[in-house]
Amino acid sequence: MSTARTGSSGHARPRDEAAEHIECYILEKKLPPHAKLPSERDMCSMWNFNRTTLRSAIKRLIVEGKLYNRKGSGTFVAPPKLERDLQDAMSVSEAVYLAGRVLETRLLDRQILKADRHVAQKLQLEEGSSVFYLRRLRVVDGVPLMIEHSYVDYSRYPYLERYDFYEESLYSVLECYGVGVHHGREEVGITYTTEEEAQRLNMEEGQPVFYLSGVSSDINDRPVEYFKSVVRADQVRFSSVLTR
Q: pLDDT (tens digit, 9 = 90+) per residue, 174-190?
A: 999 998 888 888 899 99
- Min mean pLDDT across 31-35, 60-64, 117-121, 240-244 is at 240-244
Distance from chain centroid for Cα 74: 23
| Percent of the chain clearing pLDDT 70 (strictly above) | 90
Q: How far is CA 79 from CA 33, 94, 143, 236, in A?
A: 5, 18, 10, 11
DSSP 90-156: --HHHHHHHTT--EEEEEEEEEEEE--HHHHHHHT--TT-EEEEEEEEEEETTEEEEEEEEEEETTT
The pLDDT of residue 128: 97
pLDDT above 70 for 201: yes
The pLDDT of residue 230: 96
Please name which of 149, 148, 147 lies closest in space to residue 203, comparing C-alpha atoms: 147
Residue 212 gets which letter from DSSP? E
Q: How many CB atoms lie within 10 A of CB 234?
A: 21
Confidence at 173, pLDDT banded by 50, 70, 90: very high
Domains of the chain: 14-77 (1.10.10.10), 82-239 (3.40.1410.10)
Q: What is the mean pLDDT of residues 208-234?
A: 93
The pLDDT of residue 25: 94
Looking only at the bridges linking them, the beta strands covering 103-114 and 82-85 are unpaired
Q: What is the mean pLDDT of residues 25-47?
A: 92
Residue 32 gets which letter from DSSP? P
Please name which of 229, 149, 160 lies closest in space to residue 191, comparing C-alpha atoms: 229
The pLDDT of residue 130: 98
Q: pLDDT (tens digit, 9 = 90+) per residue, 93-150?
A: 777 777 777 889 999 999 999 999 999 999 999 999 999 999 999 998 888 999 999 9
- Rounded Cα distance, 189 and 113, in Å: 26
Question: How many residues are there in the chain?
Answer: 244
Contact 25, 67 (CB under 8 A): no
pLDDT above 90 for 229: yes
pLDDT above 60 for 208: yes
pLDDT above 50 for 58: yes
pLDDT above 80 for 75: yes
The pLDDT of residue 211: 95
Please name which of 105, 127, 26 lies closest in space to residue 67, comparing C-alpha atoms: 26
The pLDDT of residue 78: 83
